[in-house]
Amino acid sequence: MARAPEDGSGAPIAIIAGGGQVPVHLARSMADRGLSFVVVMLKGDADPALAAYDHIAVNPVELARFKRFMLDRGVRTVTLVGSVRGRPDIGRFRPDWTTLRFIGRIVGALGRGDDALLRAVVRMMEDGGLTVVGAHELEPDLVAPAGLLGSVAVPRGQRASIDTGVAAATTLGALDAGQAVVVVGRRVVALEGAEGTDAMIERVAQLRAIGRLGRKKGGVLVKLRKPGQDIRVDMPTIGPQTVRNAAAAGLSGIAVHGENTLVMDRAATVEAADRAGLFLVGLTPDPVALIAGEGPG
């Protein structure tokens, strides 16, 4: 757990917000609990709803503006949440002097995977004296526990698919390519690259529609933390849309990395899974395995 929210210093925590609904949920929850925070909205990514809070909107390379805002507000703790879809097109920026000091490190990381890029950003912030905490430390309810989340049990016949998926996702993660795979039977039919989890699941729906998967129903989405992934800044995430996509692709369920996965709007996510008849299970955090929620089917 982070000490920051409870340390009594009164200094606001900065939510550095990429795209998607996680930053919005986090801000709303922190506001509800009366916690002090400010929002750094990443231009082109952050949800406009975040402008309702004390905020600044910056380009990822406008480090001088970012730094000034942090100093002005007395921020000492930051959390990075949400997706950064586009990668900054370095050629279009006129970076400031603060940025230039770090630009080599960032550019070096850009050519590699997401982890390398985020590690460079985190190191830069820590060099600047900031403490980086994970959204799950600020809002534990955002995290999937190990065990069954909804009311649909894992059919016995899907256990081998989950095992295959865990092996494949672990291998994929070691390449720093993606976090998720879809397994039908014992066959890995889709692996996530730069397209992201949603686009990968849609591909499975298309393959199924044209008869390329052999079976008309079934299959599992397995989404895991990558071995080198810093969950303070980049946690695997699912939400109601993930469940709806999985149902549309004819999958039987979703297995995520217990205690290592953000669930956006858990009530809506679980309800969507229950309604669609999909199981939703958190695997043991380490080593990753199915421990709970097994059913007779």
- Sites of contact with its own copies (CB under 8 A): 85-89, 110-113, 167-168, 171-172, 174-178, 182, 184-195, 199, 203, 207, 211-214
Q: How far is the CB of 91 from its own copies (least distance, A)?
A: 9
Closer of 213 and 254 to its own copies (Cβ): 213
Q: How far is the CB of 18 from its own copies (least distance, A)?
A: 14
Closest among 242, 235, 236, 243 to 275, alpha carbons compared: 243
256: β partners: 223, 282
Buried b / exposed e over 132-142, threshold 16 CB at 10 Å, is: bbbbbbbbeeb
Closer of 4 and 249 to its own copies (Cβ): 249
Closer of 7 and 195 to its own copies (Cβ): 195
Closer of 237 and 269 to its own copies (Cβ): 237
Q: How far is the CB of 218 from its own copies (least distance, A)?
A: 10
Q: How far is the CB of 296 from its own copies (least distance, A)?
A: 20
C-alpha span between 175 and 47 (Å, rounded): 30
Closer of 65 and 187 to its own copies (Cβ): 187
Q: Of all helices (H) and strands (E), which one includes residue 99? A: helix 97-110
C-alpha span between 132 and 70 (Å, rounded): 13
Exposure of 248 by Cβ count < 10 A (0-12 exposed, 13-18 middle, 19+ buried)? Answer: middle
Q: How far is the CB of 68 from its own copies (least distance, A)?
A: 27
Output DSSP code: residue 250: T
Output DSSP code: residue 141: G
